[in-house]
Structure 1
Amino acid sequence: MIVEEILSNIHQMDDQEVKKRHIEKVYLESAHLVKRVQRVKTDHGKEIGIRLKEPKDLVAGDVLFMDDKNLIMIDVISDDLLVIQPKDLKEMGTIAHNLGNRHLPAQFEDNVMLVQYDYLVEELLQQMKISFVREERKVRQAFRHIGHSHD
């Protein structure tokens, strides 16, 4: 089977529509969510080719296949993350500036900033006395580096 488009996202579907189907999952590392062409295997051993027509990143919950009885979706393997919890806007601005200078991609959920684990960033956070925890956590989308040059 070759998948050329994402049909839906399970998080946007009606719960009853989801529950009436057998669900298979394709587990991907978050870094692989940016690949438009790849060969994957479901948790039931079914091989699938992904060749997306549109230049779009995959997201956790994306539905690759669905019929009346079955559904195949993307799930993401947990990443080793630093979950940064700034106490105020000034602290958020300071750490965002420091991490931005390192071109480190970040994601935001609720009132926390998520970055992939890096021992240098961990040391920086400790030196700056900024609250954080290191944990395994699933992200819904890939950490994306934004192209930039210092002209």
Structure 2
Amino acid sequence: MKRASAVLPRGSFADDAVVGEVVLDSEARLRRRAVLSAGRQQFLLDLPELVPLNDGDGLALDGGGVIKVLAAPERLVEITAKSRADLVRIAWHLGNRHLPTQLMPDALRIRPDHVIEDMLVGLGATVTKIDAAFDPEGGAYAGGHGHHDHGHDHDHDHDHDHGHGACCGHDHGHDHHHDHDHDHDHDHGHVHGPGCGHDH
């Protein structure tokens, strides 16, 4: 099975280098290690660290070739408001609840949640159900927060590498950090919006 161990940002690779495409939703684009399918060929995604994959990014296969990442449409809620100031205030409320949120020029997008949607309407927002790719703001988890998605999909890929090593007496391959590959996927999204006074 071929292995992909590096992410190539969108636009950084030639079209003729693409040997396949993989369609992933937002959760599947937050995996460090997984077996994926690009058409009829399977490959192992095996990244050294968790990197959020965006629509159009490439996965470099060891030995040559690129698998292009396409974002799968998902059921989302698009949020608009009467003014930019109202939208910023709404973004603050979403960030205060640590909801994964996609920032658009004149709108916000979140996953459906009827309780949150009722709150948004109460704040004067217009909410519309759509089907679109979901690319929530990645600043928080792209750094040290590890994408905290309170759905706690801990993705326990334990990956202990139990190759007990020669004469190490049980080398579990832990390297003192356990490499549990939790990828904690906690998805806080931390979209606190401008002027929120909550500078993470």
1:95-146, Cα deviation, whole Å (9 max, x unpaired):
2233233221211122211111111122222333312311010134677423
Q: Deviations over 1:40-65 (max 9, x none)?
A: 001x2100100102432222212124
Q: Does 125-134 or 48-57 show the bigger shift?
A: 125-134
- Matched position secondary structure for 1:34: coil
Asked whether the 8 Å contact 1:82–1:116 carries over to 2, the reply is yes
Higher Rg: 2
User: In the alignment, does 2:71 pair up with 1:76?
Assistant: yes
* Alignment TM-score, normalising by the size of structure 2: 0.60
Change (3 A) 1:22 1:36: closer
3-state SS, counterpart of residue 35 of structure 2: strand
1:86 deviates by 1.9
Higher relative contact order (CA 8 A, sep 6+): 1
Match of 2:23 in 1: 27
CA contact (8 A) 2:101 2:189 kept: no
Corresponding residue of 1:58: 53
Q: Give identity over the alignment, percent.
A: 21
TM-score when normalising by structure 1: 0.76
Unaligned runs of 5+ in 1: none
Q: How many residue pairs align between the two structures? A: 141
Aligned residue for 2:88, secondary structure, equals helix
Which is richer in strand?
1
Hey, which of these two has a bigger chunk of helix by percent? 1
Match of 2:123 among 117, 124, 128: 128
Q: How far off is 1:36 after superposition?
A: 0.5
Contact 2:31-2:50 within 8 A present in 1 as well: no
Q: What is the match of residue 188 of structure 2? A: 146
Letter in 1 for 2:34: Q
